[in-house]
Chains A and B, each alone.
Chain A
Amino acid sequence: MADALQQPALAQPKLAVHDLNVYYGNFQALHAIDLDIQEHAITALIGPSGCGKSTFLRCLNRMNDLIADARVEGSVLLDGEDIYHPRVDVAALRKRVGMVFQRANPFPMSIYDNVAYGPRIHGVRSKERLNHIVESSLRKAALWDEVSDRLNKNAMGLSGGQQQRLCIARLLAVEPEVLLMDEPASALDPISTMHIEELMISLKDAYTIVIVTHNMQEAARVSDTTAFFLNGELVEAGETEQIFHAPREERTEAYISGRFG
């Protein structure tokens, strides 16, 4: 088992999770998870519904703090510092470690204001500076060319795939280091999915990306490392090529080849 959880020997991880246990009331959702998230790489979390992968993702920027009876034990180190330390500013943490959700959730305001929202909250007032942030964020999110002539139009008028890229642009505008994506393409058609996947690959040089996905092919296509969760346990983590070619654990094999889940 220890062997199955062995990580590729790389530089200091961006995020180091050690002995993480999460409880919702009396229910233990995660059991003693050890996992390193490498910088400038895409880590995919896979597993059947209810396996704990989204819970794990939410632990990485303390989104579980918002759930009343959730309790987190263990450590999550971001660049070597414990994000669960009492002195940590959670708002500042979530600026560094941002999240994209399954359903695109643009604010009911203009495209421009969606992207400028975060920087404004964080005190950016200069119109020139905001213009620059909005354009560069939309460019990084591969959306600029599609919306540059209608920045003042309501974001709700964009297609689903464009809305999801807008949410990514909105996240990039506050200059995060880690992007957490919870099934970012599951509600999108194949072309929009391809755009999101291409975007993820283009972003990984500058960011660290963790993605939860139910789509095995998506995990295989985009990620460098894959971690398989089952019943709140991390069954196996390793290089994506190894996981999909010759997984070490029978439970991984059974899941990825559709024998259950």
Chain B
Amino acid sequence: MSSSSRTRFDQELTDLAHNLLVMGSAVEQQIRDAVTCLVNHDLKLAEQVIQNDDIVDHYHHQIEDESIRLFATQQPVASDLRTITTALKIIVDLERISDYAENIAQTAARLEDPSLLTPLADIPQMAQIAQTMLRDVLQAYVNRDISLAEEVYQTDDSVDQRYRNVFDTLRHLMESDPRNVYQGMELLLVARYLERIADHITNVADWVIYMVSGTHRRNHKNNGKAEA
């Protein structure tokens, strides 16, 4: 490979990373808006979240096409191979996260009375933690920072804990008054979507660790050498 074609390839890899960050930011916005429209009962914002999912899908396909083109034309090896493979994997998780945000917005649009949210501070907190996790994991991706990716992984536990809190609270509310059941079921789904969103972000963290170290997290924890 001549140095000028390597320069062009480097530029293409930079563009790929840039597009992935743009997609990531859009997905982070989706999480924020989805929970905001639920809490504020903002039907207009809910509609916007539902529409913006198409934009995220567009980024997904664009990055997918670009990655496949780079495989075909550059036959990448070593860290180039891992970087492009990681992009292909990450966009699937980002796209799923946006789908969950859309589901939350659809719930917000259906739910005429979200009064049960008041005792459920854990739901907006889950959304906030998920946004932070997503921002951190994108930062870890850009800076090739394994320890930050590992932190994101650990943060997932606090999202899981809040999901269990929501589950217990809603169960109690539904058991005590059957009129709470419809709203309770909808909000339980919202909590479940947020818990799944955080899980997808840990998948992204896994791929960042792979991209940097060449080994998956499951091997990485037992293999000190890879951390060097």
Residues of A within 8 A of B (CB): 3, 216-217, 220, 244-247, 252-253, 256-260
Task: Using C-beta atoms within 8 Å of the partner chain, give the interface range for chain B.
Answer: 10 to 19
- Known A3-B225, A245-B82, A246-B82; contact A257-B76, beta-carbon cutoff 8 A: yes
Contact B225 A216 (CB under 8 A): no
18 contacts between A and B (CB under 8 A): A216-B77, A217-B75, A244-B77, A245-B78, A245-B81, A246-B78, A246-B82, A246-B214, A247-B78, A257-B6, A257-B76, A257-B77, A257-B80, A258-B1, A258-B5, A258-B6, A259-B6, A260-B3
Chain B nearest CB from A30 CB (Å) reads: 25
Which residues of chain B have C-beta atoms less than 8 A from A3's C-beta?
A: 225
- Known A245-B214, A246-B214, A246-B215; contact A257-B225, beta-carbon cutoff 8 A: no
Contact A253 B6 (CB under 8 A): no
| B161 touches A (CB below 8 Å) | no
Which residues of chain A have C-beta atoms less than 8 A from B5's C-beta?
A: 258
Which residues of chain B have C-beta atoms less than 8 A from A220's C-beta?
A: 77
CA distance A3 to B215 in the complex (A): 17
Residue among A245, A252, A260 with the most chain B CB within 10 A?
A: A245
Interface of chain B residues 195 through 226 with chain A (CB within 8 A): 213-215, 225
Which residues of chain B have C-beta atoms less than 8 A from A217's C-beta?
A: 75
The A-B contact count (CB < 8 A) is 36
Which residues of chain A have C-beta atoms less than 8 A from B82's C-beta?
A: 245-246
Contact A256 B77 (CB under 8 A): yes
Chain B nearest CB from A226 CB (Å) reads: 11
| B158 touches A (CB below 8 Å) | no
Chain B nearest CB from A8 CB (Å) reads: 15
The 8 closest A-B pairs by CB, nearest first: A246-B214, A258-B1, A244-B77, A253-B78, A258-B6, A257-B80, A256-B77, A257-B78
CA distance A227 to B214 in the complex (A): 19
* Residue in chain A with minimal CB distance to B10: A259
Which residues of chain B have C-beta atoms less than 8 A from A244's C-beta?
A: 77-78, 81
| B147 touches A (CB below 8 Å) | no
Residue among A3, A216, A246, A247 with the most chain B CB within 10 A?
A: A246
CA distance A253 to B214 in the complex (A): 12
* Residue in chain B with minimal CB distance to A259: B6
Which residues of chain B have C-beta atoms less than 8 A from A256's C-beta?
A: 77-78
| B79 touches A (CB below 8 Å) | yes
Contact A257 B79 (CB under 8 A): yes
* Residue in chain B with minimal CB distance to A253: B78
CA distance A260 to B215 in the complex (A): 25
Which residues of chain B have C-beta atoms less than 8 A from A258's C-beta?
A: 1, 5-6, 9
Which residues of chain A have C-beta atoms less than 8 A from B79's C-beta?
A: 246, 253, 257
Which residues of chain A have C-beta atoms less than 8 A from B80's C-beta?
A: 257
* Residue in chain B with minimal CB distance to A216: B77
CA distance A217 to B215 in the complex (A): 22
CA distance A245 to B3 in the complex (A): 21
Chain A nearest CB from B4 CB (Å) reads: 11
Chain A nearest CB from B57 CB (Å) reads: 31
CA distance A133 to B82 in the complex (A): 48
* Residue in chain A with minimal CB distance to B81: A245
Chain B nearest CB from A44 CB (Å) reads: 13
Which residues of chain B have C-beta atoms less than 8 A from A245's C-beta?
A: 77-78, 81-82, 214
6 more contacts with CB within 8 A, not counting A244-B77, A246-B215, are A216-B77, A217-B75, A244-B78, A244-B81, A245-B78, A253-B78
Chain B nearest CB from A2 CB (Å) reads: 12
CA distance A246 to B3 in the complex (A): 22
Residue among B1, B78, B213 with the most chain A CB within 10 A?
A: B78
Which residues of chain A have C-beta atoms less than 8 A from B9's C-beta?
A: 258
Chain A nearest CB from B95 CB (Å) reads: 26
CA distance A3 to B78 in the complex (A): 18
Chain B nearest CB from A121 CB (Å) reads: 43
Over the window 56-90 of chain B, the binary record of Cβ atoms lying under 8 Å from chain A Cβ atoms (1 yes, 0 no) is 00000000000000000001111111100000000
CA distance A220 to B81 in the complex (A): 13
* Residue in chain B with minimal CB distance to A252: B78
CA distance A246 to B76 in the complex (A): 12
CA distance A3 to B225 in the complex (A): 10
Over the window 1-45 of chain B, the binary record of Cβ atoms lying under 8 Å from chain A Cβ atoms (1 yes, 0 no) is 101011001000000000000000000000000000000000000
Chain A nearest CB from B73 CB (Å) reads: 13
Which residues of chain A have C-beta atoms less than 8 A from B78's C-beta?
A: 244-247, 252-253, 256-257
Which residues of chain A have C-beta atoms less than 8 A from B6's C-beta?
A: 257-259
